[in-house]
Amino acid sequence: MATVPEAKHSTVALIDKHHEATADEPHRDHLGASMLGHKCERYLWLSFRWAFREQIPGRIRRLFRRGHNEEASIITDLRAIGCVVRDRMADGRQYRVELAPHVAGSLDAIIDGGVPEAPKTRHVAEFKTHSRKSFDDLVANGVAKSKPLHHVQMQAYMHGMDIDRALYVAVCKDDDRLHVERVERDRAVAEKYIERGARIALAERMPPGISDDPSWYECKFCPARDMCHGSRKTTEINCRTCAHSTPSGDGQWRCARWGDETIPSDAQRIGCGSHVFHPDLVPWQLHDSGIEWVALWEIDGAMVANGEADANVYSSREILGEADAA
In a domain, 216, yes or no: no
pLDDT higher than 50, residue 313: yes
| Range of the structural domain that residue 240 is part of | 231-325
Q: Are residues 123 and 254 in the same domain?
A: no
Helix then strand then coil, % of the chain, to nearest 5: 35, 20, 40
Question: What are the tens digits of pLDDT across the range 141-155?
Answer: 999 999 999 999 999
Q: Which residues of 132-141 are buried (b: 16+ CB within 10 A; e: fewer)?
A: eebbbebeee
pLDDT higher than 80, residue 58: no
User: What average pLDDT does range 46-53 have in this prediction?
Assistant: 96
- Helix then strand count (H, E) for the chain reads 11, 14
pLDDT at 322: 60
277: which DSSP letter? B
Question: What are the tens digits of pLDDT across the range 233-260?
Answer: 999 999 999 999 999 999 999 999 999 9
Distance between first and last Cα of the chain: 49
Q: Kindly indicate the confidence band of residue 325, based on its pLDDT and cuts at 50, 70 and 90.
A: very low
pLDDT at 60: 74
pLDDT higher than 50, residue 324: no
Q: Are residues 172 and 34 in the same domain?
A: yes
The residue that leads in pLDDT, 27 or 184, is 184
Taking the C-alpha atoms of residue 110 and residue 84, their distance in angstroms, rounded to an integer, is 8
7: which DSSP letter? P
Asked whether 293 and 244 are in contact (CB, 8 A), the reply is yes
**Residue 251 burial (C-beta neighbours within 10 Å; 0-12, 13-18, 19+):** middle
Q: Are residues 116 and 248 in the same domain?
A: no
The pTM of this model reads 0.90
Q: Are residues 173 and 252 in the same domain?
A: no
pLDDT at 98: 96
Number of domains in the chain: 2
Share of the chain above pLDDT 90, in %: 82
Across the chain, mean pLDDT equals: 92
Q: Are residues 197 and 245 in the same domain?
A: no
